Amino acid sequence: MGHSDGDHDDLSADDSPWSEDIWSDDNEGSLSFEDSGEGSDAESDETDALAAEESDSSEDEVAPRNTVGDVPLVWYKDEEHVGYDISGRKIKKRDREGRIEAYLRNADDAKNWRKIYDEYNDEEVQITKEEAKIISRMLKGKTPHTNVDPYPDYVDWFEYDDKGHPLSSAPEPKRRFVPSKWEQKKVVKLVRAIRKGWIKFDKPKEEPNFYLLWGDETDTADNKRQGLSYIPAPKPNLPGHEESYNPSVEYIPTQEEIDSYQLMYEEDRPKFIPRRFDCLRSVPAYEKALREGFDRCLDLYLCPRTRKKRINIDPESLKPKLPSKKDLRPYPRTCYLEFKGHNGPVKSLSVEASGQWIASGSSDGTIRVWEVETGRCIKVWKVGGVVHRVAWNPQPDRHILAAIVDHDLLLLNAEIGDEEVQMRTKKLLHIEELAPEEEETGDKKPAVKWVNHDKFDGIMLIHHKAVSTVEWHFKGDYFTTVVPSGDSRAVLLHQLSKKHSHHPFRKLPGLPIAAVFHPSQKMFFVATKKFVQVYDLQKAQIVKKLESGVREISSISIHPGGDNVIVGSKDGKLCWFDTDLSTRPYKALKTHLKDITSVTFHRKYPLFASSSEDCTAYVFHGMVYSDLNQNPLIVPLEILRGHSSSDGRGVLDCKFHPRQPWLFTAGADSLIRLYCD
């Protein structure tokens, strides 16, 4: 069809009969060459001949008539021309054609379905049937040309036979075995974004609401009501063989058994007596059906039901995984030696700094010094009063014993070592002039009086009230005593070299029980009935306050590192404090049945022990790590028995050997026991 001057501009892509339904898959016949029955054979041959004469050469391509390039045609909307040809002449717009004229013209034209309006050149273009076939194949998702195979067979061009070398003998690049730092940075960035919530993952899809037809009713989502949890009613028992209409012979009772049922109580009689019938039609109606149905409804209505959650867990899996005891050796396990000589309960023990001697105090009024290796008693002091506590000076060149006799404190020369050491000790235990407290005059009474003890060549420290405990400073010049009273003189500090005493605390929060020095720093621990207060002696202020949570504290011991504290109580609990971690106990161990009398740390080995009035002593492994992120390891090791009870009392004191993994225990049965590995 030729182009006439009467054609108009109204034939656009939207207004032309070139509609979308022609290109749909349902109308593929209109695009295929075989299905189009319109047109003569001459026209078909002529079109095929023109298509055969087409060439792929760029010289045969017809250049566009409009040469404005990619300029938007909107710019020429109000102009009379649409562009310029290659000679620079204006390309006039065609006159617009009405819709009715275009419809009538297209209805009489059999080739109208192959015409496309070219808005760029302002003309109509007619496509060939071969181009229509290509468009039809592309709409179906196929290749444009029929002679192209989209799935050709793979051809391996390399010959592997008799080839002894790989395709490439180049060395592996370094990037294949070295981690990429850029990938690592990207992963770290993504992980940080996920943790901060910048990247959110899609919620999992909800599973379909399927349920088992014969499953448990508790698992269905319909039974999860608001408020109280749904508890399904217990199902009645399913019928068995005896409820069958034709049961076996062994299920049918004899007449004698039926008569014996009448002698039973009504609640003990069987609810149903099996019978045999020839067929199911002969089975009569159950006479108790209505009654049992009513009883069932009453049970469901009146019977309360509670849900009991039962978890099947192996009890062994709940126990913490502790290391083997063999790996934690050495530690005291068996009694190696007994020290006999006291006639009353041994109330206190103290081991000399070198570990060669041990001192003990008893209620029989004697203080004894023993040789550890042989168990021989080498020195006895009859002080004439109950010895509540003994403490050996920690310095190896000062063999001085501090003993609490009745109400006061007595400093003794142990009289061991060479003559030079003994002379220095005697000189140190001699008061040449009156103490400053005695020189004071007035109404104020001194807290402590330093008095020479001529009988034992020592010093007696007379307190205003009874003394309960005494502890030495690690340097051996200072020591502290505790007087269980509510005034400011309850805790006293003494200096041996200057024979001076003073009370550092004006007020304490409670009744003091014990006081100890820090092993290496200028810190001071004061234990009351409920709390343990940590003081800085240099700054004269409280640093921490440890809350024990026990009924009443009975004893305290400091780890050689100084950051961990153990506390024994009168309700049998042992509390481990990590002062760097918290002011509350890190571990609370309920080990003893009765009051804990003493707790102690070993200076060298990771061991600590506790003694109680239940005649036992517990030995624990307590490893403290230098890494602050790792918690201390506490493992129970051994229960030491052997002491007998006397007047309801058992083991009164326990102390470790300073160098060996040995434990000394003092009992109310007047015996001292040495436990070794």
Q: Per residue, what are the HEC states of 163-217? A: CCCCCCCCCCCHHHCCCCHHHHHHHHHHHHHHHCCCCCCCCCCCCCCCCCCCCCH
- Among 20-24, 74-78, 505-509, 595-599, name the most confident range: 595-599
Give one DSSP letter per residue of 431-496, joined into a string. --S--HHHH--SSPPPSEEEEEETTTTEEEEEESS---EEEE-TTSSEEEEE--SSSTTSEEEEET
Contact 121, 65 (CB under 8 A): yes
pLDDT for position 212: 65
Cβ neighbours of 502 (radius 10 Å): 13
The residue ranges of every structural domain in the chain are 5-62+94-139
What single-letter amino acid sits at 300? L
Most confident of 9-13, 158-162, 220-224: 158-162
Q: Is the pLDDT of residue 8 over 50?
A: no
Residue 209 pLDDT > 70 = yes
Instruction: Indicate the length of the chain as a whole number.
Output: 677
DSSP 8-state code for residue 113:
G
Q: Please spell the DSSP secondary structure of 505-558, one letter per residue.
A: -S--SS-EEEEEE-SSSSEEEEEESSEEEEEETTTTEEEEEEE--SS-EEEEEE
What's the chain's average pLDDT? 82
Q: How much is the pLDDT for 433?
A: 61
Query: Binning pLDDT at 50, 70 and 90, where does residue 214 land?
Result: low
- In this structure, of 186-195, 444-453, 506-515, 668-677, the range with the lowest mean pLDDT score is 444-453
Closest to 375 (Cα-Cα) out of 335, 414, 411: 335
Residue with tokens 């003092």: 666
Residue 62: predicted pLDDT: 62
User: Are 26 and 20 in contact, with CB atoms under 8 Å apart?
Assistant: no
Q: Which pLDDT value is given to residue 621?
A: 93
Q: What is the pLDDT of residues 135-174, one digit of tens each?
A: 899 999 888 988 888 888 888 777 767 666 666 677 888 8
CA distance 41 to 47: 10
pTM to 2 decimal places: 0.55
CB 461 within 8 A of CB 494: yes
What does the alpha-carbon distance between residue 351 and residue 372 come to, in Å, rounded to a whole number?
A: 9
Q: How does residue 35 score in pLDDT terms, banded at 50, 70 and 90?
A: very low
Q: Are 589 and 612 in contact (CB under 8 A)?
A: no
- Which of 182-186, 264-268, 417-421, 607-611 is predicted least confidently? 417-421
pLDDT at 5 over 70: no
DSSP string, 385-436: S-EEEEEE-SSTT--EEEEEETTEEEEEE---S-HHHHHHHHHHT---S--H
* C-alpha pair distances (Å), 612 with each of 319, 359, 557, 588, 668: 26, 20, 15, 16, 11
**Pick from 137-146, 245-254, 427-436, 463-472: least confident:** 427-436
Select from 649, 675, 654 the least CA-distant residue to 666. Answer: 654
Cα–Cα–Cα angle for 363, 365, 371, rounded to 5 degrees: 90
Mode of pairing for the β-strands spanning 458-463 and 408-413 = antiparallel
The pLDDT of residue 30: 39
User: Between 218 and 422, where is the model more confident?
Assistant: 422
- Judge whether residue 19 has pLDDT over 70: no
Q: Which two tokens stand for residue 626?
A: 């230098």
Q: Which of 207-216, 539-548, 643-652 has the lowest mean pLDDT?
A: 207-216
pLDDT band at residue 236 using 50, 70 and 90 as cut-offs: confident
* Residue % of the chain over a pLDDT of 70: 84
First to last CA, the chain: 118
The whole-number pLDDT of residue 443 equals 45
CB 260 within 8 A of CB 273: no
User: Which has more confidence, 548 or 36?
Assistant: 548
The larger pLDDT score, comparing residue 545 to residue 66, is at: 545
Q: How confident is the model at residue 458 (pLDDT cuts 50, 70, 90)?
A: confident
Mean predicted confidence (pLDDT) in 523-544:
90
Q: Is residue 56 very low, low, confident or very high in pLDDT (cuts 50, 70, 90)?
A: very low
